[in-house]
Structure 1
């Protein structure tokens, strides 16, 4: 009889089949962006490292000024009405008889009055005499740069040009020109990596601490910190470029072409210049040659206050005979006060006015951006945010180099001190329409940001050269077959 096998007599044998998903190859765009991010990170990161360190030092300049120059910048006793500006200017002139008065900033509250003198031997620097507005006594004298104290000027030069003059300015422009590229490129790469399997905001903003120590954990800290800092770093890049040497010049030209730059204020007077005869207190000439009468400062200040210019102001004498004086609000803390007027000192009337609210929007944003970049716009909060950005950028750079080291080959037969660059070939894989749109855009950006365009071209030349050398090394010549075979 045939043996019938019941279903329950023997359990069915099943073979586990494990499906191994092949590693997903990056798209040509991702491959190109990865290689660009790698090379820019390796070669430009030193500039960013220096910019972050010097910027971090600059954030504490208000505290340094108070600690080092508190006796000159502030008064010990605030009380009573300030003395006439004529007396304060006279005291400053007696203390410093050389040069010509370029500007006077009347003291308010605990701030001393600043009388700024121009001197040919100081170049772009000025000599500032500080006067107690309540007693008329000189509290000190410093060599300044656009109102900045020596220590602030020193740190500002360190951040802008490393004390190397015009040559040193290239470093900061390279850093600002590439920072936005690195930030945007890093965001795209991290988003593509994380949203493949975990499309949640948490995994974009928080590093995965469950992975073991290694390049994956370092990449998580590097990328998520960059995400948190992205808006601030893009802001620093944009505002830093506005006063760089080449990109800044192009930015200014663009504002002028759009008629969106800071509007000029007319100082022309219809009448003749005031008489400069004897009997007046004459203590030197202004840059334009007009005789400096200390009493005129009180007249001009009273006119400015009557015109609504409250808070700290800067009074600038006429640049040349027959022109008006200017008064500018210099409150750079939010909400800023930056209105300007031109004053006829003889008649005590306002001849022209330029209010900050009437400036073009781009001019307003540019001015506010510069003040925020310098840590002035929001006071101590602004300083703390800038310091956090600088520290965060330092961490991102260090983690980037650490990843490069962690990716190094460690096999006994193939060791290397550093990791290899991502695979090339991304450009060849791009569709024609991407090249058609991308090349003109890249050229235009390179023209607007010359140091970005120049260094990008250098990267491409080096990369193509290294690729050609590598291909030649991989070519093995075929030996001819022996005769008779």
Structure 2
């Protein structure tokens, strides 16, 4: 990808010196005229996306290593010194409840990684007059227990500062701290970055096969502008596949494109949701009737053992029944954030409180709305091949931060004195039909891009009219 203003201007001057053939019945698009069109799109795309692209790329690069950072900071909390035979799960819950007097265990998480602690969620004793908390603060206190000795390793005290930091980073990355408006701005940036990449590929595309330096190898000697241009162009070409992968997978999490994708694909792959009545949940009980809690016949040890046997390579969370007609809720997910190769595997199910029968299995792969999340997220954050891809993704983020900076700098230095240096409007008829078709396809497949193009066309038209009114007229 390049902002090759020097070569572009040279090409234009060369064409202007060629005498036109007045006998030609029809003006055909020339490579140079198409180059000017692509340069114009590349320029405006860069001007539109540069500030937000830098913010999104910086926050994205930081968030890539959120899991590793948390592990490093909270190593004493999250890891054990030695492994062995797992202690009874009831002993883990008992130790956690002793750490929070009057508390009640509600769930337990066992990791596939044997070096990690078990996490028991304990709901503190409700104080008189205290309302029940909802959301993240109502999930209870996390108690980290050595799964081999059942000893409490650490109790979560207060908000997790590392987690809060990365949640803020993610909020900036997705919403710019501006809610839905911020998400739309990020989506607009994402779609225009696709145009920036595609037009950059065309501008870079070598016209001479024998040319290597400046195309495949950056020139590190000579004029500073040439060095800067090559450092802007050559690394971008090598990392273009990764950049496009990050950008396209990011579209799934946007407002307009993401919802449009769901509306288009759901009739093709979606299934009708049928309400099912769970065993043991009859309609004969009167509303408001308060019955004494009946413990499940399936004990915790057997329930957790079965869940881990079903998914030995995943982190398993078991939520305990709190009512007489509740069953064990099981969530099993692979450790996708720390480098489990491939897709995100997430399954939810219930184990019957008395028989242990598996019920209501819900796999992320089969979710009507979020089935794409299985591959989109690992590809977007670079966890698909572990640390190797995360490093490449980080380099791509750094590149996405640097390229707008170098591109704007080159434009600022090369613009004519006293002028904006904005690319001139191409002459009518100088663009081939396939270019217009490509633009129309992109406008329809990227709705926010299409709307922004309409705004730019109207603005460009108004600007040209104003310039024509100001131009002196020859009598």
> Normalized against structure 2, the TM-score is what?
0.75
Aligned to 1:16: none
Q: 1:458 aligns to what?
A: 455
1:258 aligns with one of 246, 256, 268: 268
Instruction: Give the aligned partner of residue 149 of structure 1.
Output: 163
Q: 2:218 aligns with which of 171, 189, 207?
A: 207
- 1:318-337 deviation line (CA, Å, top 9, x unaligned): 79956663332333211557
Would you say the 8 A contact 1:112–1:131 is kept in 2?
yes
Answer yes or no: is 1:349 the counterpart of 2:323.
Answer: no
What is the distance in 2 between the residues matched to 1:121 and 1:398? Answer: 46
Rounded to whole Å, the distance in 2 between the matches of 1:200 and 1:56 is 34
Distance 1:432 1:179, change over 3 A: closer
SS across alignment from 1:163:
coil
Greater mean alpha carbon deviation, residues 128-137 or residues 204-213:
204-213
Say if 1:104 and 1:113, in contact at 8 Å, map to a contact too.
yes
Give CA deviations for 1:296-319 in whole Å, capped at 9, x if unaligned.
543332222343543422334579
Structure-2 separation of matches of 1:162 and 1:219? 30
Give per-residue Cα distances to partners, 1:389-421, cap 9 Å, x unaligned. 111222212210111112122xxxxx23x7511
Q: Deviations over 1:3-24 (max 9, x none)?
A: xxxxxxxxxxxxxxxxx96558
- Match among 142, 146, 157 for residue 129 of structure 1: 142
Larger RCO: 1 or 2 (CA < 8 Å, sep 6+)? 2
Partner of 2:444: 444
Q: Provide the TM-score with structure 1 as the length reference.
A: 0.74
How many angstroms does 1:102 deviate by?
7.3
Secondary structure of 1:367's counterpart equals: helix
| Residues matched between the structures, number | 428
Q: Using a 3 Å threshold, how does the CA distance of structure 1 residues 337 and 32 change in structure 2: closer, same or farther? A: closer
Q: Is 2:48–2:192's contact at 8 Å kept on the other side of the alignment?
A: no
Equivalent of 1:391, from 398, 407, 416? 398
User: What residue in structure 2 maps to residue 17 of structure 1?
Assistant: none
Structure showing greater radius of gyration is: 1
Match for residue 241 of structure 1?
251
Relative distance call for 1:432 and 1:385 in structure 2 (3 A) is closer
Could you tell me whether the CA contact under 8 Å between 1:376 and 1:382 is conserved in 2?
Answer: yes
Matches for 1:33-432 after TM superposition, within 5 Å: 33-75=38-80, 77-92=81-96, 104-107=108-111, 108-116=113-121, 121=133, 123=135, 126-132=139-145, 133=147, 134-137=149-152, 139-141=154-156, 149-191=163-205, 194-195=206-207, 197-198=208-209, 204-209=215-220, 212-214=223-225, 216-259=226-269, 269-272=278-281, 277=292, 280=295, 296-316=299-319, 321=325, 325-332=329-336, 333-335=340-342, 338=345, 340=347, 341-353=349-361, 366-409=373-416, 415-416=417-418, 419-425=420-426, 429-430=430-431
Do the aligned partners of residues 278 and 231 (structure 1) sit closer, same or farther apart at CA in structure 2, a change above 3 Å counting?
closer
Could you tell me whether the CA contact under 8 Å between 1:114 and 1:128 is conserved in 2? no
Q: Distance in 2 between matches of 1:304 and 1:264?
A: 25
CA distance in 1, matches of 2:433, 2:250: 35
Distance 2:428 2:328 in 1: 60
Q: CA deviation at 1:183?
A: 0.8
On the 8 A contact 1:56/1:386 being kept in 2, the answer is yes
